[in-house]
Amino acid sequence: MLEARHTMDAPTTTSADNGTSGGGGGWFTPRNKPEPGSEPAPAGAPGPAAGRRPAAIRPVGRPTPPPQPAPPAAGTAQPESPPAGTVQPASPPGSARPASSPGAAVPADTAAPAGPVPTALTPAPFASAVVPPAETRAPAQRPAPAPPRGEAASAPAASPDALLVRRAMAEVTPVADKVTSYFYALLFVRHPDLRSLFPAAMDTQRDRLLRALLTAAEHIDNTDVLVDYLQNLGRGHRKYGTRPEHYPAVGECLIGALSKYAAGVWNEEMEAAWVRTYTTISQIMIDAAAADELRSPAWWYAEVVTHELRTPDIAVVTVRPDQPYPFLAGQYTSVETPWWPRIWRHYSFASAPRSDGLLSFHVKAVPAGWVSNALVHRARPGDIIRLGPPAGSMTVDHTTDSGLLCVGGGTGIAPIKALVEDVAEHGERRRVEVFYGARTDHDLYDIDTMLRLQQTHPWLSVRAIIDQQAHQQLPDAVRAYGPWNEYDAYLSGPPGMIRSGVDALRDSGIPSDRIRHDSVEELVSAGN
């Protein structure tokens, strides 16, 4: 993933504990003072000497698993000793319950990755309701270390921890809803002070925290991609007020829910594997958040300066952030409105960075879409919204001069417009072919802008594809104009369009690693 690469340039000193320090089965101990610029160590970084790990709290009412030789989780970051004075949220020996962590947890509704889910991560079973099969999902925006699913036979063997984690996942998948409900019930009963960080209505998005954690856990071996994903997740959690000390609470409840619903296969060995896995996950998130804290605010306030209704349900909303907001054309952010506190939704920037610092979004009000309806039908100039950090890797690679094939469906044209502006600003003479799809000509709400850009830039070609007239959907039309093997491709639009668009582009000769788009999971949530 290319997004937010600047945050990964920091010196790497990390501290994820994958259990190799000899304290197998112990809970993660957050560091009170995150180290400036700390990031997870690269694979193979030396770990601390055994015994430097502080005492650990125990998962609920369970005997301490015996220390066991930790499996060499491929490339997982290694621990460093916590700073002196680290306060350990510990349970008294033999206590039936771990001590509650003060503070809050990770808001579920908002816990989806702030950036795209690295698509080399096969979705966890929990995500299956909203995530397409791996082969139809986005390609990794950065070459992933793990081969695609179809090449699994040649994949390196899974680590023992990964196998145990997946065994539990297979057990709980058929009762995913129950696990989710139980997890949040545990969290809010044991840590009632955390409830206020979550949206008032725990709607269908409530399983996003669990889903993100389980997706990560299941792919704990795929370190390179996983680290990007988790760093993004950790940074994105700053806007919720998530603190290091919140992670044990979530971990305890995660194990509590899994052990209950995977009781048929659960044992100490499996619990220890989960503890190590969660410890690794949470430390990567914490370190990324700590590093980000040194250079960026957790969120930005932004004032609506213009609100233009383009169709009865599509608005172009332009805002002025309260402080500089660095981002790249093609990225997106999360938005919270004053009318639905703690509910965040993603929107792509509709322009490349502007000299006046203003940001624009194209928002379509969709049924049951609380945030989008509020932005389209309630927001007015003067209203204040909040923005999370920028995310996303659908950005232009300026190191090549390949042509760009840009496919935008509906409001998906917004980041495509930003990409065109970006190419124009770089003064390049690369071919840019834009396909702009809509159901009817009435839905082509931004065609005038795109045609104006075409008039200005001879290297740009814009084609409107209207389903009703073309009697085909956008991906088929793009395929018909191929082959496109000389192009880098950018896809933006509804999840179904992205899925079939990826297929069409591959058929047209573009290798997967040159097809960029945001995560379908994010788009599903963005549509709400």
Minimum CB separation of residue 332 from ligand NAI in Å reads 6
Q: What does the alpha-carbon distance between residue 289 and residue 39 come to, in Å, rounded to a whole number?
A: 9
Q: Which is nearer to ligand NAI, 3 or 443 (CB)?
A: 443
Q: In sequence order, what DSSP letters do the residues of 421-436 get, joined into one string?
A: HHHHHTT----EEEEE
How far is CA 186 from its chain centroid?
A: 25
Minimum CB separation of residue 409 from ligand NAI in Å reads 3
Q: Which is nearer to ligand NAI, 171 or 518 (CB)?
A: 518
Minimum CB separation of residue 452 from ligand NAI in Å reads 20
Segment interacting with ligand NAI (CB under 6 A) among 128-136, 274-282, 293-301, 490-498: 490-498
Q: Which of 158, 233, 444, 526 binds ligand NAI (CB under 6 A)?
A: 526
Which x/- pattern, by CB under 6 A, does the window 442-471 give for ligand NAI? -x-----------------------x----
Task: Kindly state the number of chain residues that form the binding site for ligand NAI, as judged by CB under 6 A.
Answer: 28
Task: Give yes or no for residue 492 binding ligand NAI (CB under 6 A).
Answer: yes
User: Which single residue brings its beta carbon nearest to ligand NAI?
Assistant: 410
Q: Which of 210, 298, 375, 474 binds ligand NAI (CB under 6 A)?
A: 474
Task: Give yes or no for residue 496 binding ligand NAI (CB under 6 A).
Answer: yes
DSSP code of 391?
B
Q: What does the alpha-carbon distance between residue 311 and residue 443 come to, in Å, rounded to a whole number?
A: 8
Which x/- pattern, by CB under 6 A, does the window 313-342 give for ligand NAI? -------------------x----------
Q: What does the alpha-carbon distance between residue 219 and residue 213 come to, in Å, rounded to a whole number?
A: 10
Minimum CB separation of residue 472 from ligand NAI in Å reads 8
Task: Give yes or no for residue 523 binding ligand NAI (CB under 6 A).
Answer: yes
Q: What are phi and psi of 462, to 5 degrees?
A: -120, 125
Segment interacting with ligand NAI (CB under 6 A) among 50-58, 106-114, 222-230, 518-526: 518-526
Minimum CB separation of residue 469 from ligand NAI in Å reads 11
Q: Which is nearer to ligand NAI, 101 or 333 (CB)?
A: 333
Maximum separation of any 2 CA atoms in the chain, in Å: 74
Exposure string of 302-341, with b = 16+ CB inside 10 Å and e = fewer, is: bebbebeebeebbbbbbbebeeebebbbbbbbbbbbeebe
Task: Give yes or no for residue 411 binding ligand NAI (CB under 6 A).
Answer: yes
Task: Give yes or no for residue 103 binding ligand NAI (CB under 6 A).
Answer: no
Task: Give yes or no for residue 527 binding ligand NAI (CB under 6 A).
Answer: yes
Hey, what are 522's tokens?
């994010």
Minimum CB separation of residue 264 from ligand NAI in Å reads 39
Q: In sequence order, what DSSP letters do the residues of 157-219 get, joined into one string?
A: PPPHHHHHHHHHHHHHGGGHHHHHHHHHHHHHHH-GGGGGGS-SS--GGGGHHHHHHHHHHHT
Minimum CB separation of residue 445 from ligand NAI in Å reads 9
What is the DSSP pairing of strand 332-336 with strand 432-438? unpaired
Minimum CB separation of residue 516 from ligand NAI in Å reads 10
Question: Contacts from 467-476 at CB under 8 Å and sequence distance 24+?
Answer: 467/437, 467/438, 467/439, 467/440, 468/439, 468/440, 468/441, 469/441, 473/437, 473/497, 473/500, 474/407, 474/409, 474/435, 474/437, 474/501, 475/407, 475/500, 475/501, 475/503, 475/504, 475/505, 476/504
Closest CA to 136 of 406, 461, 498, 493: 498
Q: Which of 410, 435, 444, 505 binds ligand NAI (CB under 6 A)?
A: 410
Task: Give yes or no for residue 502 binding ligand NAI (CB under 6 A).
Answer: no
Task: Give yes or no for residue 417 binding ligand NAI (CB under 6 A).
Answer: no
Minimum CB separation of residue 74 from ligand NAI in Å reads 32
Closest CA to 376 of 297, 326, 304, 432: 304
168-227 residues near ligand NAI, rule: CB under 6 A: none
Contact (Cβ atoms closer than 8 angstroms) between residue 364 and residue 313: yes
Q: Which is nearer to ligand NAI, 270 or 502 (CB)?
A: 502
Task: Give yes or no for residue 30 binding ligand NAI (CB under 6 A).
Answer: no
From residue 216, alpha-carbon distances to 16, 117, 213, 227, 390 in Å are: 14, 10, 5, 9, 21
SS (H, E, C) 90-142: CCCCCCCCCCCCCCCCCCCCCCCCCCCCCCCCCCCHHHHHCCCCHHHCCCCCC
Q: Which is nearer to ligand NAI, 59 or 409 (CB)?
A: 409
Minimum CB separation of residue 467 from ligand NAI in Å reads 5
340-379 residues near ligand NAI, rule: CB under 6 A: 348, 364
What is the DSSP pairing of strand 487-492 with strand 344-348? unpaired
Task: Give yes or no for residue 494 binding ligand NAI (CB under 6 A).
Answer: yes
Q: What does the alpha-carbon distance between residue 516 and residue 492 come to, in Å, rounded to a whole number?
A: 9
Place of tokens 């709290």: 57
Q: Which of 59, 145, 244, 475 binds ligand NAI (CB under 6 A)?
A: 475
Q: Which of 114, 497, 505, 510 binds ligand NAI (CB under 6 A)?
A: 497
Q: Which is nearer to ligand NAI, 299 or 445 (CB)?
A: 445
Task: Give yes or no for residue 438 binding ligand NAI (CB under 6 A).
Answer: yes
Residues of the shown chain interacting with ligand NAI in the complex, contacts defined by CB under 6 A: 332, 348, 364, 409-412, 414-415, 437-439, 443, 467, 473-475, 492-494, 496-497, 500, 517-518, 523, 526-527
